[in-house]
Amino acid sequence: MPSYDEVRLYLGGIWLLIKGDARGLRPFDISDRGVARSFWALVWAFPAFAISGVYFRNLYIEEFPEAAESALTYIAKAMVVDLAAWFLPIVALMLAAPLLRIRPLLRTLIVVWNWASMAALYFGSALVILLLSLPEPQDESWMTIAAFGWVGAAILLLALSVALSWRILRTIVGGSVLIRLQVFAVVSLPMLLLEPLEKQLGIYVP
């Protein structure tokens, strides 16, 4: 399992990639062993998975107060969805790499995806904790403001994820904009399967 110091190096590498500096690739081991070790990012991300599960469990209870499912069961199902969000883009990349002629970059993309996903989960969890720490709205006007705040935060998080992912792709993949758009589509389209999966598991919140 990578040490804390190694993880710090990986996060520093991701930051350099976001800035457009290809030296950010140096900390990443893209050998077979390095690709396998990059999946330890899942273990490092476990606390963020748990925070996400608790948060969405609270939303679910607010929407369906009569729900009898235990918190542990719900969180376990939420983690299944989180794992699907993590692995489906990797599978899509593996299938599409020969068609997009990016096979030489596949290991690099997988390793960076794993550690960047861990970073993104912690960023999202920090945002959730920050919003949950705000005082409860006392009247209807403040409730409306709070609702808009949540929506705005969600939009901001999505826009930031797209922008940072694009900058990382630009540094790693290079080439034409079309190639980068195709790679971006490959990792993004599997996310459309998450909502049906949530419905199938019975944890979907409209």
d(CA 141, CA 147): 10
d(CA 23, CA 15): 10
Model confidence at 142, pLDDT cuts 50, 70, 90, reads: low
Residue 170 · residue 20 · CB < 8 Å: yes
How big is the CA angle at 75 (ends 195 and 206), to the nearest 5 degrees? 35
Query: Which residues 6+ apart lie within 8 Å of 121 measured at CB?
Result: 45, 48, 49, 52, 82
pLDDT at 137 over 60: no
* 17-21, 129-133, 135-139, 155-159: the lowest-pLDDT one: 135-139
End-to-end CA distance of the chain: 38
Q: What is the pLDDT of residues 18-55, one digit of tens each?
A: 999 999 999 999 999 999 999 999 999 998 888 888 87
Q: What is the pLDDT of residues 146-187, one digit of tens each?
A: 566 667 767 777 788 889 989 999 999 987 888 889 999 999
Amino acid present at 55 = Y
d(CA 116, CA 41): 9
Stretch 65-91: mean pLDDT, rounded?
Answer: 85
- Please name the residue ranges forming H helices in the chain: 4-18, 32-38, 41-44, 46-63, 71-100, 106-132, 140-172, 177-188, 194-201
Residue 143 · residue 137 · CB < 8 Å: yes
Residue 132 · residue 91 · CB < 8 Å: no
d(CA 117, CA 10): 12
Give domain limits for the chain.
Answer: 4-201
For 39, the enclosing helix (H) or strand (E) is: none
